[in-house]
Amino acid sequence: MATATGGQRIHISGGRLIDPANGLDDRLDVYIANGRVATVGTPPDGFTADHRIDAAGCVVCPGLVDLCARLREPGQEHKATIASETAAAACGGITTLCCPPDTLPVVETPADVELIRLRAEATGKARVVTLGALTRGLRGEHLSEMAALQRAGCVGVSNAMQPLSNTLVQRRALEYAATFDLTVFLYANDHWLASGGCAHEGKVATRLGLPGIPEAAETAAVARDLALIEQTGVRAHFCRLTTARAVRMVARARYEGLPVTADAAIPYLYLTEIDVSDFDSRCHVMPPLRTVEDRQALRDALQRSALDAICSDHQPHEPDAKQGPFPSTEPGISGLDTLLPLGLRLVDESVIDLPGLLRSMTSAPAGILGLPGGTLSAGAIADVCIFNPELTWQLDLQSMRSHGHNTPFLGWEMKGRVTHTLLAGRIVHRLEQDS
């Protein structure tokens, strides 16, 4: 199937345009030229479209920005590749993916950053940005060359889920990042409290005989991190919060003026510790699924904007990775295929309105990453997602586009499907023929 090129002029007509960055929610046409948004509403003088997309009955919004997607390349190509996962992203309306630094090898040199960028550009399906390693090899002992990583294009630094050797190393790392105005992406997890655990410490884990991870593994880490953020002045983002108390702590810190943001992964807005009751390894995630009360707190926080963004926390696995006793299976859910439809289910359940949902998946994560995307302003890069909110479909192995099929949402009926995705003015996904 031929796709439009960035040099073509495209007219998107008849859709409901939602652009949270500009407070737009109206039936407006979008005009695209030279890979950028030319105008919204009225065509530019002398504009003649080379290609027209009829978006009647559909929502037109900025391309989704996913704060965390492990693409498994380099180093774990048996699980997935940049090519396979960016193609899945395009099918899900996601135009920008942020890759954590825990690849093989770790993203700790400009060459590592360049490798990922070039492979993503070769596929042409989605934009991939990277976080650089906070410490060398993510071993938590010596600081990485953050300045070089920033110059190479890293949008922030993180130690992913790997612990730092001590609190002094963390303080020095945050101070160093602050000197370069780099955002530090923090996974709030006390390694020693969580060590050996695979499920939330509570009645379910006790009944199943599974080693537990207490709520304090997250909250103690958040308390430590907030103290160091206040001392160093670094800009920080808390990744994948799971507990009610941690969300309240971060919200309070932000109210007091600390430069902090936070996100939640979409599976934690649906699943709880109860979902592991039959030892379903598809629900083995890290951090673990928490209580029903924690899930409700995450939903409430999203509603009142105490959580800034929603991400997929995409972690594709080969089938063998989820076989065996629950504790020995690899944690993670394949999430690119379900990010938008599960988000739309939150709208149907009145957890959040549609503009608010799209803000958490477009302009908010773009702002956290310091990227110019997430908007359809005139002159902006034409990353566009067009979806039909009424189309229903079932998530099964045939409908999934990710190479990883490890998801507990298989068999769920989904509502809302992407019909077109544009990356810098190129159509990189089309569900059905447009006019």
Annotated catalytic sites, by residue?
313
**What are the strands, taking DSSP E only, across 208-311?**
212-213, 236-239, 260-265, 309-311
Angle formed at CA 369 by CA 378 and CA 164, multiple of 5 degrees: 180
Distances (CA, A) of 34 to 3, 178, 398: 14, 37, 35
Q: Using the structure block, give the residue that is written with the tokens 């990353």.
A: 383
Contact status, residue 86 vs residue 125, Cβ threshold 8 Å: yes
- Determine how many CB atoms are found less than 10 A away from the CB of residue 143: 16
Task: Write the DSSP assignment of 34-99 as a string of letters.
Answer: TTEEEEESSPPTT---SEEEE-TTSEEEEPEEES-B---TTT-TTT--HHHHHHHHHHTTEEEEEE
Dihedral angle sign, alpha carbons of residues 281, 105, 139, 69: negative
Dihedral angle sign, alpha carbons of residues 211, 216, 219, 221: negative
Dist CA 76 CA 99 (whole Å)? 14
- Determine how many CB atoms are found less than 10 A away from the CB of residue 413: 10
Give the three-class secondary structure for 25.
strand
Give the three-class secondary structure for 217.
helix
Beta bridge partners, 238, equal 186, 262
User: Residue 44: CA atoms inside 13 Å, Cβ hemisphere, count?
Assistant: 17
Nearest to 80, CA basis, from 332, 395, 339: 332
Contact status, residue 113 vs residue 126, Cβ threshold 8 Å: no
Cβ-Cβ contacts under 8 Å for 217 (sequence gap 6 or more):
189, 190, 193, 194, 197, 287
Tokens at 365, concatenated: 């994560």
Tokens at 302, concatenated: 């999203």
Phi and psi torsions of 155, nearest 5°: -90, 0
Number of DSSP helices (H) and strands (E) in the chain, helices first: 12, 20
